[in-house]
Chains A and B, each alone.
Chain A
Amino acid sequence: MSFDLLAAAADGLGGTPAWAMLAYLAAGVFFILALRGLSSPATSRAGNRNGMIGMAIALVTTLVTHDIANIVEIGIAIFLGAIVGVTIARKIAMTAMPELVAGFHSLVGLAAVVVGLAAWLNPGAFGILDAAGQILVVSRIELGLGIAIGAITFSGSVIAFLKLSGRMSGSPILLPARHIINLGTLAAILGLIAVYAMSGAGGPGEGMLIVWITLLAFAIGFLLIIPIGGADMPVVVSMLNSYSGWAAAAMGFTLGNTAMIITGALVGSSGAILSYIMCKAMNRSFISVIAGGFGAEDGAGGSGEPREQRPYKQGSADDAAFMLEQAEKVIVIPGYGMAVAQAQHALREMCDLLEEKGVEVKFAIHPVAGRMPGHMNVLLAEASVDYDKVFELEDINSEFATADVAFIIGANDVVNPAAKTDKSSPIYGMPVFDVDKAKQVFFIKRSMGGVGYAGVDNDVFYMDQTVMLLSDAKKMVEEIVKALD
């Protein structure tokens, strides 16, 4: 039985002592506590420290239980990585967090690939040989899957990084017959892994199998992400987060390492849940996001027919300041446009002034605001907005009826009532803010020309109670601040 063989191999796994097994388990528990801490901002910092403790335990245990032949080289490698990592973490702008996370994901993916290749080249070091000196069948499957998932994570994240950082156009790139190509490639990868697992004798073709699995997986990661448009990037980043977890878990199976398996399962479920939340917030199915192409067929619907000119009211910063001062309750709806204009600090100043004048100010955040889950919250936190004033969609939506002013800055699709009423709209069914229930709406927008990601017109522009503030978001808010002073 292969299970018995595996058990025998595990005992001989460099003779991993019992205390080391327990240490890896402890590391896994610390990782669970790290995520648990994130249930509230107050406990989150302790959670992050738990994560660091877990990682330190895993690292030290590995170094102590193995005969390290190249401690100097390893020390240099860790030191190099630490310098680069900490430098990036210190310098990165909070607006660039999505591409940073995508970049980090690509590193996890590539690390999984190189570890898998190293295990295949030197299986003895990983304790995955059977009595006859062959790599175990189970280990072959785990290795093949680990390398494939790692490679998909790597190339997919590189594309996501390029799209998010604007180095590559965010619009979908659609290859003809892409679904057939993608499914064919996936089937080929799985087929090759099966052949590799069965090729017992380790003939000369075996090396080529692993190389092909790796190359095809790199290709499929690339092919999967290029047809996905900018609006769906939050889902893609979450999905790649999930993949990086599964890659770590697959390697954990190969090594029989509990810390890696627990972490992989945690990260895998975390990414999957975030993808689910993002899809639900856009009323898109996961399959349709993965199939890609959203936002590509705009030409047919949105801009095909010339948009009629409808009357709207335009106001000035002074008008806005006057109305805001008079209000009892103001709800601010920030969107990615606010972050692009770097208006968050001016916005916080405006809200501070209003609060000094006795106005109640709340922030309403849509799950898909920003370019990744929770991005807008980080940007507001950076501008020192008190997190007690920041609310999620379902918690605040009923309050618009009692709000005097809804102040929309850099958001668009998330306040579009077409999502509730117009079945033909591409955003139909997406949960949106009921800003039409507020007594007065201020809508900061660069011009009347541009429309949101989804490329649809917004009835909120033309409502009686809406005043359009057409300007750069930062400039407009700064002018309002001046008028309030």
Chain B
Amino acid sequence: MDFISILSIFVLACFVGYYVVWSVTPALHTPLMAVTNAISSVIIVGALIAAAESTDPMAKYLGLAGVVMASINIFGGFAVTQRMLAMYKKKEKKQ
């Protein structure tokens, strides 16, 4: 893909982000931060590419370290978001 196409996607995604995030209810701003944390770890794609190649051992180990860090974030981020969201309940009259 050429630079202009990438830039177009980026600029449009910024606008999508702007409108989507304003529509997030303030009550869910903490889960929002947790889940954005998890999805920004999609950077694991870059770490995997580096880790997959054995031509440069240094790059490979940096990649593997990146995979560990991003995985902590992905699994931790989604799990903690799920835990938080499970607590937002409507009345079911307990006790």
The stretch of A119-127, A310-318, A320-328, A407-415 in contact with B is A119-127
Cross-interface CB contact of A82 among B18, B38, B71, B84, cutoff 8 Å = B71
Q: Are A247 and B26 in contact (CB under 8 A)?
A: no
CA distance A296 to B62 in the complex (A): 40
A:67-99 near B, CB below 8 Å: 67-70, 73-74, 77-82, 84-86, 88-90, 92, 94, 97
Asked if A44 meets B89 with Cβ closer than 8 Å, knowing A35-B36, A115-B63, A248-B40, the reply is no
Q: Are A108 and B73 in contact (CB under 8 A)?
A: yes
Shortest Cβ distance from A25 into B: residue: B9
CA distance A4 to B4 in the complex (A): 11
Asked if A84 meets B76 with Cβ closer than 8 Å, knowing A68-B52, A115-B47, the reply is yes
Most buried by B among A67, A126, A261, A365: A261
**Shortest distance in angstroms between A65's beta carbon and chain B's nearest beta carbon?**
10
**Shortest distance in angstroms between A277's beta carbon and chain B's nearest beta carbon?**
8
**Shortest distance in angstroms between B45's beta carbon and chain A's nearest beta carbon?**
5
Asked if A118 meets B79 with Cβ closer than 8 Å, knowing A10-B1, A51-B38, the reply is no
CA distance A269 to B36 in the complex (A): 10
The stretch of A216-224, A382-390, A429-437, A453-461 in contact with B is A382-390
Q: Are A38 and B52 in contact (CB under 8 A)?
A: no
Q: Are B59 and A122 in contact (CB under 8 A)?
A: yes
Q: Are A117 and B62 in contact (CB under 8 A)?
A: yes
CA distance A268 to B41 in the complex (A): 13
CA distance A62 to B10 in the complex (A): 20
CA distance A251 to B29 in the complex (A): 26
Q: Are A260 and B30 in contact (CB under 8 A)?
A: no
A:260-299 near B, CB below 8 Å: 260-271, 273-274, 277
Shortest Cβ distance from A110 into B: residue: B69
The stretch of A182-190, A195-203, A371-379, A476-484 in contact with B is A371-379
Size of the B side of the interface (Cβ < 8 Å), in residues, is 85
**Shortest distance in angstroms between A339's beta carbon and chain B's nearest beta carbon?**
12
Q: Are B25 and A38 in contact (CB under 8 A)?
A: yes
Most buried by A among B11, B30, B37, B50: B30
A238, CB-defined interface residue at 8 Å:
yes
A309, CB-defined interface residue at 8 Å:
no
- B4 neighbours in A (Cβ, 8 Å): 3
Q: Are B59 and A89 in contact (CB under 8 A)?
A: no
A425, CB-defined interface residue at 8 Å:
no
CA distance A247 to B42 in the complex (A): 11
Shortest Cβ distance from A245 into B: residue: B40
Cross-interface CB contact of A375 among B3, B16, B30, B70, cutoff 8 Å = B30
A440, CB-defined interface residue at 8 Å:
no
- B71 neighbours in A (Cβ, 8 Å): 77-82, 85
- B39 neighbours in A (Cβ, 8 Å): 31, 34, 51, 54-55, 263, 266-267
**Shortest distance in angstroms between A288's beta carbon and chain B's nearest beta carbon?**
22
- A384 neighbours in B (Cβ, 8 Å): 87, 89, 94
A:38-65 near B, CB below 8 Å: 38-42, 44-45, 47-48, 51-52, 54-55, 58-59, 62-63
Q: Are B27 and A374 in contact (CB under 8 A)?
A: yes
Shortest Cβ distance from A107 into B: residue: B69
Q: Are B24 and A125 in contact (CB under 8 A)?
A: no
Q: Are B95 and A111 in contact (CB under 8 A)?
A: no
A27, CB-defined interface residue at 8 Å:
yes
B:5-45 near A, CB below 8 Å: 6, 9-11, 13-14, 16-18, 20-45
CA distance A42 to B90 in the complex (A): 9
Other CB < 8 Å A-B pairs besides A38-B24, A41-B85, A378-B87, 8 of them? A115-B46, A125-B56, A126-B46, A258-B6, A261-B10, A268-B17, A269-B17, A271-B36
Q: Are A48 and B37 in contact (CB under 8 A)?
A: no
- A117 neighbours in B (Cβ, 8 Å): 59, 62
Q: Are B68 and A257 in contact (CB under 8 A)?
A: no
Q: Are B43 and A247 in contact (CB under 8 A)?
A: yes
**Shortest distance in angstroms between A50's beta carbon and chain B's nearest beta carbon?**
10
A7, CB-defined interface residue at 8 Å:
yes
